[in-house]
């Protein structure tokens, strides 16, 4: 999965994190392919996608499978849209 914002290329990836309570944890990462910057998306990553214009990211993670959306360059402002979503797909309007 990838997106482009202002000349920067991004990828959404799932990575293994240290185990918690003897359970492996998958975390989502937003990676700037130009700079190597890595932004944590959260634990229990189930999937993600970029908006058609590459400016927004939607991801599903956590025990409740929260679907969150945020600008690619400001994940701290992510908003929970709904819960129980397994794999988000962003379609052009």
Spatial contact of 51 and 37, defined as CB atoms under 8 Å apart: no
Who's near 23: CB < 8 A, 6+ residues apart? none
DSSP reduced 3-state for 83? coil
pTM of the model: 0.76
What is the average pLDDT across 35-43? 88
Tokens of 78: 């992510």
Write the pLDDT tens digit of every residue in 62-75. 888 889 999 988 98
1 or 59, higher pLDDT: 59
Report which of 68, 73, 52 is spatially closest to residue 2, judged by C-alpha positions.
52
Domain-by-domain residue ranges, the chain? 2-82
Q: Which residues pair with 15 in a beta bridge?
A: 27
Go through the chain and tell me how many residues it has.
93
Angular region, 85: left φ>0, alpha ψ -120 to 50, beta rest? beta
Write the pLDDT tens digit of every residue in 4-35. 554 568 888 888 866 666 666 788 899 988 88
């Amino acid at each position: 999965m990838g997106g482009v914002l202002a000349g920067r290329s991004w990828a959404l990836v799932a990575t293994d994190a240290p185990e918690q309570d003897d359970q492996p944890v998958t975390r989502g990462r937003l990676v700037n392919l130009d700079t190597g910057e890595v932004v944590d998306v959260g634990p229990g990553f189930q999937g993600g996608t970029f908006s058609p214009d590459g400016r927004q990211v939607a991801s599903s993670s956590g025990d409740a499978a929260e679907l969150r959306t945020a600008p690619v360059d400001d994940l701290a402002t992510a908003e929970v849209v709904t819960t129980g979503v397994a794999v988000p797909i962003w379609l052009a309007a």
